[in-house]
């Protein structure tokens, strides 16, 4: 990872206007750039799942997340270059239900005996019962991992 991205990430974490989910997304996409030959994929969930989970939870509070990403675009342009495709996906999909269902299907396809409806209901339940979206996302991953693969 470039020193500029590292510096911007440090400043991003100090910014109280950007929530923990967007901070996590920025770190995930920024640090991906620093790995050679996609070796990061050995350390985390499959990229398709991670990106689907991020989109699913961004859609739980779409307007707030879009505002936070716009702030990242303005104040942290080097980091923003890493999250720009995700930001654009959230912006151009005005019919967010279709995007939400697509992401839920991708997640359900990777988890045994789990339906799209299961994924959506758990994402909503964890979002409503958590203090913030990053906490909800953590609970969601715990639920996913508790399911037999």
Q: What is the span of the domain harbouring residue 130?
A: 3-146
Residue 65 confidence (pLDDT): 96
How much is the pLDDT for 148?
A: 58
pLDDT at 38: 52
Q: Is the pLDDT of residue 41 over 60?
A: no
For residue 24, pLDDT over 80 is answered with yes
In angstroms, the CA 137 to CA 55 distance is 11
When pLDDT is averaged across residues 24-46 and rounded to a whole number, the result is 71
**What does the pLDDT read at residue 52?**
95
The count of structural domains within the chain is: 1
pLDDT at position 31, please? 87
Cα 143 to Cα 4, 87, 119, 130, distances in angstroms: 36, 26, 10, 14
What is the reported pLDDT for 33?
63
- The larger pLDDT score, comparing residue 40 to residue 47, is at 47
Average pLDDT, the chain: 90
**What's the rounded Cα separation, in Å, for the pair 81 and 87?**
10
């Amino acid at each position: 990872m470039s020193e500029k991205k590292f510096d911007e990430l440090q400043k991003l974490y100090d910014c109280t206007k950007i929530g923990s989910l967007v901070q996590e997304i920025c770190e995930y996409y920024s640090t991906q750039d620093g790995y050679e030959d996609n070796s990061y994929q050995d350390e985390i969930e499959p990229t398709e799942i991670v990106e689907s989970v991020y989109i699913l939870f961004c859609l739980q509070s779409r307007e707030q997340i879009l505002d936070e990403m716009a702030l990242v675009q303005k104040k942290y342009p080097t980091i923003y270059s890493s999250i720009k495709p995700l930001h654009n996906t959230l912006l151009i999909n005005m019919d967010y239900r279709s995007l939400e269902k697509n992401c839920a299907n991708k997640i359900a396809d990777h988890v045994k005996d789990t339906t799209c409806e299961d994924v959506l209901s758990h994402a909503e339940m964890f979002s409503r019962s958590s203090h913030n979206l990053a906490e909800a996302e953590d609970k969601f991953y715990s639920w996913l991992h508790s399911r037999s693969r």
